């Protein structure tokens, strides 16, 4: 699941549509359209979301969010109650939780409300919690989860995404769980804590096929270490894993070296080491490790790899047909002690 500082337009193969608050004078915005809250029609009309009944409940990924300019809108819990009353939630398959309060540093109350109402959502298979962009709340100010209640309440869930950081030591964004059906897990953060990474590593996820972790930096809570990734790279609890993204880290070279010798790597079809501080040392480790020609795609976007080493990796993979994306090369800050930087921090 690719990170972009834009609201989701599509999720789980469906166009995203905001639930328009009751009584709103706004006209409908076609599902899947980019969300531009300054979008006006020639007559001065404002377009936002859809009303219940405009589309089949299973034709869109519904987004519930507080509009940061929406004075007079109901609060997020009232909006959820309206959703339950006005939409046939038994047919909803995908749900996106957006901004819930002007201060997004407190956990999203909709997570507990949704978990408590799980019996109203028998078809729900895909959830993204934290579709919040920087003009609403920086990723380092936005609470991640807690996500465990969603996994416990929805045993048939297939996709879970979350964005933010742990904003309280008292509330873990994720704890170790067993979930038989989860296929995709993506945690997008400027600072993913070690205990969250350990929780992923210790969870029993036999159906998980895709895992993306944006690790971030210590200044924003990203205190995970290479040791925290050991069980993930061992792969024993992830027998179905085919895509692994270990992203946005200040120890990206160490990650590359660990991946190069990891048991899980030989089972992958896609590897993503983007958004971090990967340099020549990391690519050298990849080249010296186990063959990567079985991979369908290797993505290293936003990196600090020199042209010569890029060419070496490209040449090594050329004969196997592996697609290599090494776009967005960066240049380190010559004046900084640590010249390299991750793509997403604050």
pLDDT digits (tens, 9 = 90+) for 227-250: 999 999 999 999 999 999 999 999
pLDDT at 2: 75
pLDDT at 105: 82
pLDDT of residue 42 exceeding 70, the answer is no
Topology of domain 174-346, CATH: 3.80.10
**Which residue do the tokens 């006005």 mark?**
86
Contact partners, residue 256, CB within 8 Å, separation at least 6: 273, 278, 281, 282, 283, 285, 286
pLDDT at 36: 59
In the chain, % helix, strand, coil (3-state, to 5) comes to 25, 20, 55
Query: Contact 209/238 with Cβ under 8 angstroms?
Result: no
pLDDT at 333: 63
37-56 average pLDDT score: 73
**Residue with more model confidence, 332 or 261:** 261
**Cα separation, 322 vs 48, whole angstroms:** 42
**Cα separation, 202 vs 96, whole angstroms:** 26
CB count in 10 Å sphere of residue 239: 12
Domain ranges of the chain: 1-162, 174-346
pTM: 0.94
pLDDT at 38: 45
Mind giving me the DSSP string for 256-281?
HHHHHT-GGGGG-SEEE--SS--BHH
In the structure encoding, which two tokens stand for residue 136, read together? 């609403």
192-213 average pLDDT score: 98
193-215 average pLDDT score: 98
């Amino acid at each position: 699941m690719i990170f972009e500082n834009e609201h989701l337009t599509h999720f789980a193969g469906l166009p995203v549509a905001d639930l328009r608050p009751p009584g709103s004078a706004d006209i409908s915005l076609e599902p899947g359209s980019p969300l531009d809250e300054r979008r006006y029609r020639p007559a001065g009309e404002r377009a936002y979301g859809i009303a219940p009944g405009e589309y089949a409940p299973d034709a869109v990924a519904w987004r519930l969010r507080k509009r940061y300019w929406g004075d007079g809108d109901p609060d997020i819990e009232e909006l959820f109650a309206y959703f339950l009353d006005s939409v046939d939630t038994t047919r909803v398959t995908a749900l996106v939780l957006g901004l819930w309060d002007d201060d997004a540093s407190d956990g999203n109350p909709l997570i507990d409300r949704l978990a408590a109402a799980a019996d109203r959502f028998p078809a729900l298979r895909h959830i993204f919690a934290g579709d919040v962009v920087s003009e609403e709340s920086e990723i380092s100010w936005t609470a991640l989860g807690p996500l465990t209640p969603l996994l416990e309440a929805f045993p048939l869930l297939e996709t879970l995404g979350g964005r933010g950081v742990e904003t309280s030591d008292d509330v873990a964004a994720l704890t170790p769980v067993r979930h038989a059906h989860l296929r995709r897990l993506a945690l997008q953060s400027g600072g993913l804590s070690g205990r969250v990474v350990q929780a992923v590593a210790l969870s029993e996820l036999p159906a998980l096929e895709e895992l993306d972790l944006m690790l971030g930096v210590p200044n924003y809570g990203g205190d995970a270490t290479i040791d925290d990734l050991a069980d993930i790279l061992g792969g024993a609890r992830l027998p179905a894993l085919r895509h692994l993204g270990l992203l946005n880290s200040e120890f990206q070279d160490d990650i590359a070296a660990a991946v190069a010798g990891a048991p899980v790597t030989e089972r992958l079809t896609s590897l993503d080491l983007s958004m971090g501080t990967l340099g020549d040392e990391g690519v050298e480790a990849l080249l010296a490790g186990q063959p990567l020609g079985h991979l369908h795609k290797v993505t290293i976007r936003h990196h600090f790899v020199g042209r010569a080493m890029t060419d070496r990796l490209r040449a090594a993979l050329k004969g196997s047909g592996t697609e290599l994306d090494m776009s967005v090369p960066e240049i380190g800050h010559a004046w900084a002690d640590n010249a390299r930087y991750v793509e997403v921090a604050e």
